[in-house]
Chain A
Amino acid sequence: MSPTVVNLIYLIAGILFILGIKGLTKPSTAVRGNQLSSLGMLIAIVVTLLNAEVVNFTYIIAGGVFGAAVGAFMALRIQMTSMPQMVALLNGFGGGASLTIALAEYFSVLNVDANSFAELLVPVALSSDAFGAGGEGQVTLISIGLTILIGAVTLVGSLVAFAKLQGLSKKNIGLPGGPAGNALLLLGAVIALGCLVISPNQAVTVITLVALALLLGLFLVLPIGGADMPVVIALLNSYSGLAAALAGFILGNTVLIIAGSLVGTSGLILTKIMCVAMNRSLGNVLFGKMAAAGEKIDADEIYAGKVTSAQPDEVAMMLEVAKRVVIVPGYGMAMAQAQHAVRELADSMESRGIEVEYGIHPVAGRMPGHMNVLLAEAEVPYDKLVEMDRINPTFEDTDVVIVIGANDVTNPMAREAEGSPIYGMPILNVDKARNVVVIKRSLSPGFAGLPNPLFAMDHTLMVYGDGKKAVVEMTTALNQI
């Protein structure tokens, strides 16, 4: 097939990716969009396999069969509560693919048949235009270096994010010197990249670059806590796309550039949305801790003698006379696998003519849209899931709000307590409702480490215990009334 035809078909694939993402702008067209996108992928792969340069199919079949099996197994078996882990892994593999492509491209130009690692490090004789004549060669080398840097950071950073989300790594440790240590690693990597461009015949530059980039990925994500993971995952998503686009510059491949930049912007926009929803800058999430409170707030002072607790059947009596109820889910609902129980409670209320909606904060859960997927799995219609800006004005006309497994995103201190670390963060104004029911294991603070004055308000009832069990008991009690 002539290169012109191949490139035209790549263009069609690129258009199908664009139409695919366009489909995702509405739930009703989303499934079709995803199919169009996968069709684009299929024709891009087929046309590449017909390329005359592809002659040895041993490695292709081995990698393709193994990769397809792993991918299909993960996709079909993963629980919806673990979706952040899945996306973290996919980000990492995307980075890994770009990293290995850049390395393969570099070593195919070097063309040494090394039998040992030491042999690989021996400088080789290379014509000055091996990577392209003049400036073109330098651009190719810079692209190779940047792809390696971003790809390796994405690979390791995502694996660390996966370990944190899975609960394998609970410690938030960083390099001594924190951001300064990371800056040193980055500086070292940039110097290695510079050496690569100046003397591309020495493989040691590339290997140093890989090592430093892997370390940088490790120490960038290790210090970041669980509740900041939505930002980290979105950012790594962006990196994986950027690495793919850069790989496109190495190969001179248009469809890689189109697809990579779409993914890159998608991740970047999600990162920004998450940061705005937490009222924090990206730098603060990556390198800072939550700002220390001006004065230590004494939780006992806020809670002492003011917290009212209730049993599920008391809540059921309150729900029975309600006209409008809003359910506010958080990461705790995912932890307790309570989404199906919540849907059943909502069904029971709706059968009594009570209006039920869900208030979703942008950073509820561990990744953008996490709560929406969980509730969709429990067959909650998506038009019942209402964004923060649209649900907030309705709380004053709401009889009961049920908060399940959410904390910081309902803390009125974000609105009122100037000087508090979360001051200015947009929250769900659940305290404006006539009654608030909070289902929670204890009065322990959320990620921000702050007491929540909502729990001590006169119109708030605390239901202690496992989220799923409490909701099931409410449903049973409501059905018996």
Chain B
Amino acid sequence: MDILILLLALFVLSLFLGVELIVKVPPTLHTPLMSGTNAVSGITLVGALLAAGSDTSPMLVNVLGFLAVTFATINVVGGYLVTNRMLSMFKRK
């Protein structure tokens, strides 16, 4: 339970930090913000790797892990690349 309370505290504090950070993002960057956060949410890849790479689990778990790795990798690779592509177009005169 102690660990759970710590995780909950981390969650709540991260929410507050998120609000403080995101309100400072100017509207002109809202689309890259969305694609960039899509890439960040691909961090689920970490959990996906554990499920897909386990040797002791039933086949079903590995298959679900494979799907999770695929989804999350699309987000990581697609998200960062497209965000970079967009951001490199934003130029000041």
A contacts, CB < 8 Å to B: 10, 13, 17-18, 20-22, 24-28, 30-31, 33-35, 37-38, 41, 44-45, 48-49, 51, 53-57, 59-60, 62-64, 66-68, 70-72, 74-76, 78, 80, 83, 86-87, 90-91, 93-94, 96-98, 100-101, 103-105, 107-108, 111-114, 120, 135-136, 139, 233-234, 237, 240-241, 244-245, 247-267, 269-270, 273, 360, 362, 367-370, 372-373, 376-377, 379, 381-385, 387
Q: How many residues on B have C-beta within 8 angstroms of the other chain's C-beta atoms? A: 83
**B42 nearest CB across to chain A (Å):** 7
A381 touches B58 (CB 8 A): no
**A351 nearest CB across to chain B (Å):** 14
Main secondary structure of the interface of A (DSSP, over half): helix
1/0 per residue B70-87: CB within 8 Å of A? Answer: 111111111111111111
Which 10 interchain pairs have the tightest Cβ spacing?
Answer: A67-B73, A265-B18, A63-B69, A71-B78, A369-B30, A71-B77, A54-B53, A75-B81, A368-B30, A369-B31
Question: With A and B bound together, what is the CA distance between A382 and B11 in angstroms?
Answer: 35
Give the residues in chain A near B77, CB-CB below 8 Å: 67-68, 71-72, 75
B68 touches A100 (CB 8 A): yes
Give the residues in chain B near A74, CB-CB below 8 Å: 74, 78, 82
**B40 nearest CB across to chain A (Å):** 5
Give the residues in chain B near A267, CB-CB below 8 Å: 34, 37
Partner of B91, one of A70, A262, A381, A387: A381
1/0 per residue B19-50: CB within 8 Å of A? Answer: 10111111111111111111111111111111
Give the residues in chain B near A111, CB-CB below 8 Å: 57-58
Question: With A and B bound together, what is the CA distance between A20 and B80 in angstroms?
Answer: 11
CB nearest to A140 among chain B residues: B4
Partner of A55, one of B11, B33, B53: B53
B27 touches A44 (CB 8 A): no
Give the residues in chain B near A27, CB-CB below 8 Å: 26, 28-29, 87, 90, 92
Contacts A67-B70, A101-B47 known; A18 to B42 CB distance under 8 Å? Answer: no
Question: With A and B bound together, what is the CA distance between A47 and B29 in angstroms?
Answer: 31
A372 touches B31 (CB 8 A): yes
B86 touches A17 (CB 8 A): no
B53 touches A57 (CB 8 A): yes
